[in-house]
Structure 1
Amino acid sequence: MKNYSRILNKVFLVLSVALVSTACDLDYLDTPPEHLIEASNYFKTEEQLKAYVNGFYDMLPEEEAYTDDASSDNIIPLLVSDRVKGARIVPTASGSGGWSWGNLRTINFFLDNSSNVNDTDLELKYNAYAKFFRALFYYNKVKRFGDVPWYDHVLEAGDEDLYKPRDSRKLVMDNILSDINNAIEYLSSEKKVNEITKYTALILKARICLFEGTFRKYHELGDYESFLTEAANAAEALINSGVYQLYSNGDVNTSYRELFDMYNQTATETILARDYNFDFIRHNVASLATSPTNGSFGVPKDAVNSYLLKDGSRFTDISGYETIEFYDEMQNRDPRLTQTVAGPGYTAYLSDSPEIVDIKGTTTGYRVIKSISSKDQWGNKSSYNDIILFRYAEALLIFAEAKAELGTITQIDLDKSINKLRDRVGMPHLTLVTANANPDVYLENMYPNVGAGANQGVILEIRRERRIELFMEGLRWDDLMRWKAGKKLEQPFFGIYFSGLGAYDFDGDGSADVYLHDGNTSGAPAGTPNLVNVNERKLTNGTSGNFTPFNQNVIFSEDKDYYYPIPSEELLLNTNLVQNPRWSN
C-alpha cells in the first residue's frame, strides 16, 4: 500500500481522472461507461492494470480501524454515537447511511474489462485484487443491512437489474466466498505489510466466515456450521503456514503495547497496515484519546474488570472488587491492562519520564494508551504511527472461537491459539476443563445468551480474550452484533470508583494526584493536578461511587437494531426494495 493511492497513484488519477474519480464521486450503478474511460483502449498492459487496482486501496479503513471502538461499549467518548444511544434514524438522501455503490461500480468496471490485457496470468492476478475488494465491499454491506442486491458487472442505463429487489443473504454470502477464495488462490504469497496478499485474503475470509457463522447461530438463521468450519480452516491455514508469529521484544510488560506504538509496522505479526508518515499523511487517533475537548476517550469499568489477575484468576471473584480503588486495582493484573490503559507510572512511548496523572482528558478516568505513540504525535492530526488492519493474533482468536462454537475445540486447539497470546504477556494458560467446569458469572451476565452447554465456560473465556487482545481495533461493534449481544449496550457505563471526597494517590508516590470536592477545594494538597468537582463530573452515589460519563437510558431493540435502515429516497427510487424490519420513515 505504501501510500500508493495517496502519492504514486494520484499521478495516474490526475492524468486519467475519468477513470476512477468519476466512478467514486458518482454514486450510481448505471453511469454510462463513456463517462469513465474508453475501456477498449485501456487495461492492455500490466502497468495499466496495476495503476487502476492501486486505486482500490482507498476503500480500506483509515483511522476508523481504531476509533470505531468509540462507537461501541469499549470506549466512551465525549459525544456518544447514535448507534450506542439507540438513537439512529432513517436517513433521507439516496446513497447515504452506507447504502452507496460507487466503489462497487469501480471494481466491476475493472473486472468487466481486465481481459483487454490478453494475458491470462496477468488477468487472474489483478482480478484477484478486485475480487478481494468486492468481497470486502459486500461483507460490509451484509453486516450493515442483511440482504442486499448482488451485482457482479457494470449496469447500463435502463438495465432492469437497477431496480431489482434485494438478493438473499445466502446468495450474497456464497458469492463473497467465491470471490475471497479466488483472491486466496491468485494473490501473491510474498509477505508485504502495506499490500494485499494471499495472507490478507486468508485472514479476511476467516473474519467474514466467523462473523457469518456466529451471526447465523445466535440469530437462528440456520446453516451456521459450514461458515464456522470455513472460518476455522482459513485461520488454521494461516497458522500452519508458519509465515507469521506474534510480535515480541522479549518483555511481557511492553511487547503488546509496542506493536501498536511503533512508527513503521513490520511483517512479523502485521499482515496489513495503513502506512502513515510524518511528511505525507497523518491521522488523529492520539488526539482523540488525549484531548479533553476532542474525543476524550475513556475505557469503561466493565472492560477493566474483565482483565484477569496475573496468576490467571478472576479479578471479579475478589470480594468487594467493585470498590477497589485505582492504584490497587491496577496491581498484579494481566500485563495488557496497563499496556492499554494508563496505569500508575505511565510513560509515553519512547519517554523515560512518567506522565502526570490526568483524568480531565478521559470520560471515565481510565485513559486509553494503546496505539498512542510518542508525545510529538498527540496534537490534532499529528499521529504517524501505522494503523494495523489485519494481524496474526486475530487468526488465533478466530480459530479458537470457531472451534468452540462448533463444539469441537480441544486443549491442543487452545494451546496453538489462545495460549500463544497469553505466552506473549506471561499469563497462565487457559485450560479447557477448568474453564468449562467453572464458567465466569461476571461474563455470563455480560453475554446471557451463551447457553449453559458443555463449552459455555470456554466460549466466555475466548470472548474475554478477544475483547482484551483486540481492544480498540474496530471490531467490538461487529462482535456484539454477531453474538446477538446488543442488550449489553443497555448496561450502565461506569468509570473509576472513588470512596468519597478527598485526596487520592493514583501512582503510589505518596503525593495526591486527584482531589474530589463538592465546590470547596480548600483541603486540596498543594500542587494536586486534578481537582474534580462532583457537581460537574457525576458519581453514582453523589459524593462517592463511579464516574458516570454517559447518563442516558439506552434502549436496544432486538427486532430492529441489529441492522441499519435503507435511506427513504432509495425506497422511492426502487419500489422493489423493502425497508429493514421496524424502521419507519
Structure 2
Amino acid sequence: MKLTKILYITGIVAGCSFLSSCNDDYLQKSPEDGLNQESFFNSVADLETYTNGFYGMVGASYDDLYSDNIGHGTGDYTFSQKLKGRIDEKTIGSYGWKKDGVWSNIYNINFMLVNADKAVGDEKEKKHYIGLARLCRALQYYGIIKNYGSAPWYSTPIANDDEDALYKPQDSRELVVDSVMADLQYACDYMEEGSSRTRLTRYAALGYMARIALYEGTFRKYHTEVSDLASTANSFLEKAVWASNEIMQSGQFEITGEGAAAYRDLFVNPDLSKNKEMILFADYDRDLSRKNNTSSVLNWQWNLSRSLADSYLKLDGTPITDADRTKTFVDMFTDRDPRMAETIMYPGFINEGNNATIPTKIVLDYGGLGQIKFLPRTDATYGGWNENITDLPIIRYAEVLLTNAEAKAELGTLTQNDLNETVNLIRKRVGMPDMKIDVAIDPVLEQQYPNVGGALKNVILEIRRERRVELACEGFRYGDTMRWAVGEIYNQPFEGVYLPGFGVYDSTGDGVPDVALFKSPNDKMGYSDADLLDITVYYTQDEKGGNKQVYLSEGDKGNIRFYSDADNDANNFISPKYYYYPLSQDETKLNPNLKQPIGWE
C-alpha cells in the first residue's frame, strides 16, 4: 500500500471549529477530486473560505494532564505508560505521528499555498490568508517536533507517484524548525492586526511566535543531546522577546480586573469578547451547538498535585515552610496566593453550577485536591458532559508577559523594570507582592530545576514558579518540564493532601467530619457503622490485605500517594529517551527511511 494513502491523501479538514463558520459544500470534496486551479482559489474570498477550515487546528486546553501538576489521573495516558516502560515501537500506535490528522492538515495547507498566488484581489488580503495558512503549518509541524525531534519537511502537497518525497527520511531538527520560524515570521509580517479575538490575526501569530521561540530556545539551551544546537538558543530567545514586545507595545492588551474574582473570570466567563487580556479565545454558544467539557475538571478522572499546591507563595510573597507542608486540607489555603483557591478546590466550595447546595467533599482516592479552575459556576454555563458554554482562552496576555520575562532572564538581560512590566503586573491583579531582581533562591525550586545556573538563576527559578501558578491547568506544564529538561521530576511519587494519621476528617471547613481514611475495613479505629453513616470512607487495603488505591507517604501519616506509582510500577524517566516518543513500527515499515528519535534507535 502506498504511504500516501495512509498519511497524506485525505479530504479537506472535515469540520470547522467553534471559532468560525465555513462552506460545507467544498468541505465534502478532497483537494484532488473537488478542487483544482481552474475551479477554486480564484479570489480572496476563496482563500478565506478555504482557510476557515484551518481553525480546527487551534484550540484551548483546560487541564495539565501528563504533568506533575496532576496528583493522580485514572486515564491510561501514553506518557504515564512510557514512564513505566510500557511504550515502545510495537505499542505506541499512532500517538503523535498521525495525531489529530496532522499530516492531512499539512497536505491541505500546502495544497492551498501552491495555488494561492492565482487568486485575484487585494494583495494585502491575499498575504493575510497566506500568512494564516503558514501559521497553521508551523503549528502542525512544531507539534511533531515536540514529540519526535524531527520530521520530513514538505512545502508542497505530495503527488501519488513522487516516491522520493513519499519515502524521504526526516530532515534535521534545525531545518524543520528554521522552516517553522520562517512560516511564523511571514505570518507576523503580513497578517492583518484585526479587532477580532476569535479569528487568527497578526497578534495571534505573534503570540504563537513567542510561545514556540521560547520553547525552542530553552530546549536548545538545556538539552545536552542537542548540544550542537546550543549556540543557536539565544537567537530563539531573542525572537521570543521581539514577538512578545510587539504585543506589549501595541497597547491593545492588558491584565484585566482586580482580585481573585478577576482571575477566576478569565476561565468561567460565557463571553470573553470584551476582555482585553484575550489575544485569542474559543467562543462557545449553546444556541450554535458549540459547547465544551469543562464540567469534567472537578473529580472526574484527576485531581491536582501537592507539588502544585506547594508552589503557591504565602500572601507576604515568601515560600511556604516545612510547617506549612504538614497542614491538613482545611488549613492549607490560609494566607496563600489567592490564585491557589481559584485553581484547587478549597474547603467549603459549593458546585453551584451543578445545582449543589452543600460543600463538595474531597476525593481521597484521587488525592483530595480537586481542580476548580475552568469549572463553570452557574446554571447558565454548566451543562454537564460536553454541554458547557464558558469561553476558553487560547492565547492570553499574561502568557506573553511571562514569556517576555523568562526569555530575558535566560538571555541574562532582565532588569527590575522588566519584572515590573511583566510578572509584577500579573501579581498585582491578585494583590501579591512584587518580584524583586535580587529575590533569594528558594532551595525547593533549586532542587526541582538543578540545571539552572548563571547570574540570574534566582529570578529564572521564580519566573518558573510564577508561570506554573498563573498558567496552571492551561496545558503548559508538561511542555515546560520537557523544554527545561527536568524529566526526572516525574520520578518523584505524585502526592495529594497531608493527613497526620488514619481517622476521620473535616474537608468542608464546617467542623463536622465528612471523610475518613482507614488502613482496612478490618481496622476502623473503633468507629461503628453508625458513626460513619454520613462519612465517605476510604481504605489503603482491602479485607485480605491487598492494596487499594492510596497509601500514606510515611506509613501511618503523610501525604496521600498512589499504589499505581509504587514499587514495580514506580516511574522511571530515562533521559534523553523519554523526551521523545518512538515511531510506530508500522510507520517505519511503510517508510524504511524514517529513523527512530533520539534514545529509541
Q: Under a length normalisation based on structure 1, what TM-score does the superposition of the two structures give?
A: 0.89
Of 235, 259, 270, which aligns to 1:263?
270
Cα distance in structure 2, aligned partners of 1:525 and 1:462: 48
CA gap 1:245/1:481 in 2 versus in 1, 3 angstroms: same
2:174 matched residue in structure 1: 170
Deviations 1:138-161 (A, max 9, x none): 111111111211111112122222
Of 157, 161, 170, which aligns to 2:160?
157
* Residues paired across the two proteins, number: 554
The answer to whether the Cα contact below 8 Å between 1:499 and 1:545 also exists between their aligned partners in 2 is: yes
Determine if the alignment matches structure 1 residue 323 to structure 2 residue 326: yes
How many percent of aligned residue pairs carry the same amino acid?
Answer: 36
Measured after TM superposition, the shift of residue 445 of structure 1 is 1.4
Which runs of 5 or more structure 1 residues have no equivalent in the other structure? 23-32
1:138-149 matches, within 5 Å, as 138-149=141-152
Determine if the alignment matches structure 1 residue 547 to structure 2 residue 560: yes
CA gap 1:349/1:167 in 2 versus in 1, 3 angstroms: farther
CA gap 1:7/1:388 in 2 versus in 1, 3 angstroms: closer
The answer to whether the Cα contact below 8 Å between 1:193 and 1:270 also exists between their aligned partners in 2 is: yes
Measured after TM superposition, the shift of residue 240 of structure 1 is 1.3
Determine if the alignment matches structure 1 residue 574 to structure 2 residue 599: no
1:19-418 matches, within 5 Å, as 22=30, 34-61=32-59, 65-67=61-63, 69-75=64-70, 76-79=72-75, 81-85=77-81, 86=83, 87-90=86-89, 97-99=96-98, 100-119=102-121, 120-159=123-162, 160-219=164-223, 220=227, 221-222=229-230, 223-248=232-257, 250=258, 252-266=259-273, 267-279=275-287, 280-291=289-300, 295=301, 297-315=302-320, 318-348=321-351, 355-360=358-363, 363-374=366-377, 376=379, 377=382, 379-418=384-423
Measured after TM superposition, the shift of residue 523 of structure 1 is 7.8
Deviates more, 1:531-540 or 1:273-282: 531-540
Cα distance in structure 2, aligned partners of 1:202 and 1:6: 21
Measured after TM superposition, the shift of residue 112 of structure 1 is 0.9
Cα distance in structure 1, aligned partners of 2:356 and 2:590: 60
Cα distance in structure 2, aligned partners of 1:361 and 1:523: 19
Measured after TM superposition, the shift of residue 471 of structure 1 is 0.6
Cα distance in structure 1, aligned partners of 2:17 and 2:143: 23
1:560 matched residue in structure 2: 577
Cα distance in structure 2, aligned partners of 1:481 and 1:313: 27
The residue type paired with residue 56 of structure 2 is: D
Cα distance in structure 2, aligned partners of 1:204 and 1:554: 32
The answer to whether the Cα contact below 8 Å between 2:22 and 2:49 also exists between their aligned partners in 1 is: no
Cα distance in structure 2, aligned partners of 1:418 and 1:349: 33
The residue type paired with residue 241 of structure 2 is: A
The answer to whether the Cα contact below 8 Å between 1:312 and 1:428 also exists between their aligned partners in 2 is: yes
Which runs of 5 or more structure 2 residues have no equivalent in the other structure? 1-13, 542-547
Q: Secondary structure in 2 aligned to 1:328?
A: coil
1:12 matched residue in structure 2: 23
Measured after TM superposition, the shift of residue 448 of structure 1 is 1.3
Cα distance in structure 1, aligned partners of 2:428 and 2:323: 29
Cα distance in structure 2, aligned partners of 1:7 and 1:338: 30
Q: Secondary structure in 2 aligned to 1:445?
A: helix
Q: Secondary structure in 2 aligned to 1:515?
A: strand
Cα distance in structure 1, aligned partners of 2:19 and 2:421: 41
Determine if the alignment matches structure 1 residue 480 to structure 2 residue 481: yes
Deviates more, 1:516-525 or 1:177-186: 516-525
Cα RMSD (Å) of the superposition?
A: 2.5
Q: Secondary structure in 2 aligned to 1:40?
A: coil
Measured after TM superposition, the shift of residue 234 of structure 1 is 0.9
1:441 matched residue in structure 2: 443
1:26 matched residue in structure 2: none
Measured after TM superposition, the shift of residue 15 of structure 1 is 4.7
Deviates more, 1:328-337 or 1:375-384: 375-384
Q: Under a length normalisation based on structure 2, what TM-score does the superposition of the two structures give?
A: 0.87
1:28 matched residue in structure 2: none
Measured after TM superposition, the shift of residue 114 of structure 1 is 1.3
